[in-house]
Homo-oligomer: A and B are copies of this chain.
Amino acid sequence: MSTSVAPGVTVEVLLQALPYIERFRGAVVVVKLGGNAMVSEELAADFAADIVLLHRIGLRPVVVHGGGPQIEEWLERLGKDSTFIDGRRVTDAETLEVAQMVLMGKVNAELVTALNAFGPVALGLAGTDAHMLVAEPHDPELGYVGSITAVNPELIDRTLAMDLIPVIATIAVDASGQTYNVNADDAATEIATCLQADKLVFLSDVPGLLARVEDPESLIREISVSCIEDLIGDGTISGGMVPKMAGCAQAIGRGVGSVHLVDGRIPHVLLLELLTDAGVGTMVTAESS
């Protein structure tokens, strides 16, 4: 994607983006980046460009990330096996140590570096900084896997006030100082709720909500909270999508403006979703528009 564009087209495009720019000025957009969406270096660079562009035209992005595949890769390199219970890794002390190193010292660092390639715009944070994310054990069987019980937004607010982009690794802490690995989707939802974000975007490796799971053409482009309840009721939404969509509905109910499920494998999917009429993912809103 680097073909030359005629100057006239450039101007045309910029002006078509202006209404979006007006609408989203100052909007807080929490973007959760899944580990699966960061596998290619090119996608990471695309993602960084998108986030910086959104920042430059007046939005206030907050990046939240996990790093499951990367943690797994390093556990393998260290010859350590993991057990999973209900899709959550059982996290003993050594696993937690590796998870922290990978999330804070690798994934977070790489994202911050990619963003800062455009100028000094990003600040890496973890939930341990000034006790931003507070957690308790999720389930004794899972070890150091935590559930978030509180978000202290001051550090995020200050980072935004400095006109910087916070990039948050999802390690949380309890009052005793014990750290926990927390689910990044949950962390992003809690942060978005606490900030009363205008938008919460999940970048993952699926296209969004499909009317028929097996049919990628059946993407539902927009859905209201009440409609989600109906589709769960009649079984159209099923399996792993039930908690996912219920979580989206709940975030809306707690004050988030809209939730977007988009496919992080599409180049520049963030810009396509937020600044064009392309409608590449699923948008969840309070009421059907």
What residues make up the interface of A, taking CB atoms closer than 8 Å to B?
Answer: 1, 3, 5, 7-18, 21-22, 25, 49, 52-53, 56-58, 74, 77-78, 97, 100-106, 108-109, 112-114, 116-126, 128-131, 152, 155, 158, 162, 164, 171, 173, 176-177, 179, 267-268, 271-272, 275-278, 280
Q: Mind listing 16 A-B residue pairs with CB under 8 Å?
A: A3-B12, A7-B276, A7-B278, A10-B271, A13-B13, A21-B56, A25-B56, A103-B105, A104-B104, A109-B171, A112-B128, A113-B128, A116-B128, A123-B130, A124-B129, A158-B158
B276:A11 contact, CB within 8 angstroms = yes
In the assembled complex, the CB of A67 is this many whole angstroms from the nearest CB of chain B, namely: 10
Residues on B with C-beta less than 8 A from A100 are: 105-106, 109
Residues on B with C-beta less than 8 A from A121 are: 130
Residues on B with C-beta less than 8 A from A158 are: 158, 162
A14:B12 contact, CB within 8 angstroms = no
Residues on B with C-beta less than 8 A from A58 are: 56-58
* CA distance in complex: A5, B14 (Å): 11
Residues on B with C-beta less than 8 A from A276 are: 7, 10-11
